[in-house]
């Protein structure tokens, strides 16, 4: 059984920073991709949007709206993936979800962590 546990969310003022962490436990292939997605207030689950992803080899991809502000990283030995978020804006307010997947073999989601950017 695979479990993803996210941490690091909270309330921050515009321009501030937060660091999200996700720890994966269980039977995870080292070749898994990992990433962060977010679901804005009032949006449905199907409207969850990509924030950033990272392959086992370190290749990253991120949404245009967060480029230059958010940085994704992972520790393959610990099966963790982090998201450093700087220069936060009110429109970054959302529930942030960690995801771990490996092709069609499996696709796991964390329970989500709330990030609120407000003065």
Element (H, E) at 33: strand 33-39
Contact 81, 101 (CB under 8 A): no
Percent with pLDDT over 70 in the chain: 100
Res 37: pLDDT: 98
Evaluate if residue 15 carries a pLDDT over 90: yes
Res 95: pLDDT: 97
Evaluate if residue 105 carries a pLDDT over 90: no
Evaluate if residue 81 carries a pLDDT over 90: yes
End-to-end CA distance of the chain: 40
What's the chain's average pLDDT? Answer: 95
Res 84: pLDDT: 98
Res 1: pLDDT: 82
- 104 or 108, higher pLDDT: 108
Evaluate if residue 31 carries a pLDDT over 90: no
Span 60-87, mean pLDDT?
96
Contact 54, 34 (CB under 8 A): yes
Res 104: pLDDT: 85
CA angle 95, 41, 49 (to 5 degrees): 60
Place of tokens 């962590």: 113
Evaluate if residue 22 carries a pLDDT over 90: yes
């Amino acid at each position: 059984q695979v479990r993803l546990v996210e941490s690091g969310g909270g309330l921050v003022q515009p321009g501030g920073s937060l660091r999200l962490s996700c720890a994966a436990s269980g039977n995870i292939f080292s070749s898994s991709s990992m990433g962060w997605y977010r679901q804005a207030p009032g949006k449905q689950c199907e409207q969850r949007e990509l924030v950033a992803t990272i392959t086992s080899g370190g290749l990253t991809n991120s949404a245009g709206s967060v480029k230059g502000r958010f940085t994704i990283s992972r520790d393959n030995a610990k099966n963790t993936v982090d998201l450093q978020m700087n220069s936060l804006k009110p429109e970054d307010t959302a529930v942030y979800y960690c995801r771990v997947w490996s092709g069609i073999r499996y696709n796991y989601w964390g329970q989500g962590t709330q990030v609120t950017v407000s003065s």
